Every structure is written in structure tokens, then in C-alpha cells.
Amino acid sequence: MVYKFLEQLFPGQCLVCGQPGVQGRDICATCLEELPRNRPCCPCCAAPLPSWQADGSLCGSCSAKPPPFLRIIAPWRYEAPLDVLIQQLKFHRRLAAGRLLGELLAGEIPSGPKPDLLVPVPQHPRQLRRKGFNHSSEIALFLSRASGIPWSPWRLKKIRETRSQHRLSRKERQDNLRGCFHFDNSGAYRHVAAIDDIVTTGATAREAALALKRAGVEQIEIWAMARTPEKC
Ligand SMILES: [Zn+2]
Ligand SMILES: [Zn+2]
């Protein structure tokens, strides 16, 4: 009640262009409309497909070899104005952007059985100390609040430091990440979604999924804000 009243009093301000927000959020109607939909895309790895292909067609990689996760949900493409929001969170620690991203992603959760737990894709503790925060945790926190699905910032851990993924080939990316995550499944979770900001090659998604699988999770999903064009 109080929250609704505050929403009317402070309608929010668009983090992209500064106009008044809609639905009590920090995004205006125009920028909300302009968020670049990831369609058509592969229903399994969310790789963007050429515009002539039907939405929901499996991409070549997923047809050739099913990935270790059930699916990646990435509702948007990493283009303007969504990229601005992700950069505000990631590089400028604008936590209002984390809240907005989490709320937007909550609105995209498909119907059907929901995960028992959300876990942010983690950083190594040393990296976390250097940077001071994990942007995926910010998204997961607000996604959890908006969706009612519990989250844990510590069950999925990064147990080994890795090199920056930029400039590495696909093969090098996979080697670089191999075995870097560990999932504590003392809660016996069976359906878990790992939360990330962007899926690029899918190497991180794959490695996180393998850690969940090793810990006995049966249904593994990766939920991210955006997908870049490279395939898994
Ligand atoms: Zn705007
Ligand atoms: Zn695919």
C-alpha cells in the first residue's frame, strides 16, 4: 500500500533518457518499447536466428549436440537501449539499473514449472573484492523479489580464477573455464536457474550448467538479459 503510494509520488526516471518512468519503474514508455527483442531465436540456447527463420527453430549447434542445460532464456539482444542499462550496472555500479533489469526479466518468465532456486553466475572471491559487487547478484536479487522465487548468492561458487574471456577462441574459452564453478546442493535442489547479464558464446552458461549437473540438479536453466549473436 505504502509502496504503491510512493510509486505514484515518485514515478521513477528513465535510466536511458531521463524521461519520467512508466509502471513505477526507471524506464520510460519509449525506451521500454525500444528494447531489442531477441526474435527469432533458438528455443534451446537463445542464439539469435536470421530473420527469415521461424522463431523456435533449433539452431545448428543445438541440433548437432544438445547443451547441458534445458534452455537459455534471453529475451533481448545486446543492443541499444538495453546495452546502456547493463553497462550502467556493470561498469558504473548503478544499482537502480540492477533493480530495473531484475524486474524486466521477471516479466519474461515463461509459464510452466518454475525453478526452486535462482543462483547468480558468481565471480571469484578475489575478483569480487577488487570490484566490490557482482552485477549478476544484483539482477538475481531483484528478479527474486519480483518473481517470488528464492535466490542464493553463495551456493554457486567460482572456485578458480580464470583469464578474461575477451580475445580467446571458443575452444580456449571452454578450456579457460573448465571446472571453475562448484554448486553446493545441500538443499537438494532439482530445478535451478543460473542468472547472468549477457550470454555471448555460451561457454560460461555451459560451465555453470555442468557444475549444477554434477551436484545432482536435474533441470537447469540459464536466464540472462541479453544474447549476443555468437552461437553456443
Ligand atoms: Zn527513456
Ligand atoms: Zn541453439
Q: Map grid coordinates 518473481 to a residue.
A: 147
Residue 63 alpha carbon to ligand 2 centre in Å: 7
Rounded to the nearest angstrom, the gap between the alpha carbon of residue 71 and the centroid of all alpha carbons in its chain is: 12
d(Cα 101, Cα 138) in Å, to the nearest integer? 9
Which of the 8 DSSP states describes residue 43?
T
79 Cα to the center of ligand 1, angstroms: 15
Q: What is the pLDDT of residues 60-78, one digit of tens each?
A: 999 999 999 999 999 999 9
Task: State yes or no: pLDDT of 230 exceeds 70.
Answer: no
Query: Does the pLDDT of residue 229 top 90, yes or no?
Result: no
Q: Is 167 helix (H, G, I), strand (E, B) or coil?
A: coil
Task: Return the ligand number nearest the Cα of 71.
Answer: 2
Name all domains of the chain by residue range, CATH numbers in brackets: 6-35 (no CATH), 42-227 (3.40.50)
CA of 40 to the centre of ligand 2 (A): 11
pLDDT in tens, 10-31: 778 999 999 999 988 999 999 9
- Of the candidates 98, 166, 160, 101, the one whose C-alpha atom is nearest the C-alpha of residue 133 is 98
What is the 57 CA–ligand 2 centroid distance (Å)?
Answer: 8
**Which residues are registered as beta bridge partners of 117?**
192
CA of 70 to the centre of ligand 2 (A): 11
Measured in Å, residue 65 CA sits from the centre of ligand 2 at: 9
Q: How far apart are CA 89 and CA 42, in angstroms?
A: 27
Distance 31 CA to ligand 1 centre (A): 4
